[in-house]
Amino acid sequence: MLITLMFWPTNLNEKSSAMKRPVGILKVKVLRAMKLKKKDLMGASDPYVKIKLTEDKLPAKKTTVKHKNLNPEWNEEFNLVVKDPESQALELRVYDWEQVKNLHLLLRSFLFSVLYFKLLYSLSLGWQT
């Protein structure tokens, strides 16, 4: 899976209060995935990606479904509000969507530390992959 990430803190030195006020925005761009597993009877998959920050009560954001595609390209952007970069992680899960059974099979899962992106941002003042 290929994604781009950028963390824009409101203030790097400010500590979040007990109410977990937002400290920044994590901008996630889901570009593409390659060589996904064949999950359909016809030898394809209908992949989509769910994006979520751990410890966040909001529902996961989703890309569009790319029907019958093992090498999907999304080029979709999402903004996630970061409240605690030291404990939150970015979770990306690739699912196969099935219309007949309304079944969602997990194809792949990824977990990234938000603190890692915050540290890279503070070192480079605008880091982006």
Domain limits, the chain = 2-124
Number of helices and strands (H, E) in the chain? Answer: 1, 7
- Mean pLDDT, residues 93-104: 74
Locate 77 and state its tokens.
Answer: 């952007």
Please provide residue 60's backbone torsions phi and psi, each rounded to the nearest 5 degrees. Answer: -65, 150
* Residue 53 bridge partners (DSSP): 90
DSSP output for 41-102: TTS---EEEEEEETT--SPPEE----TT-SS-EEEEEEEEEES-TTT-EEEEEEEEEETTTT
Residue 79, amino acid: N
- Mean pLDDT, residues 45-66: 91
What does pTM read for this prediction? 0.74
- Tens of pLDDT, residues 27-39: 888 988 888 888 7
Q: What is the pLDDT of residue 14?
A: 53
**Rounded CA gap, 63 and 65, in Å?**
7
Q: Topology of domain 2-124, per CATH?
A: Immunoglobulin-like (2.60.40)
Highest mean pLDDT among 57-66, 89-98, 114-123 belongs to 57-66
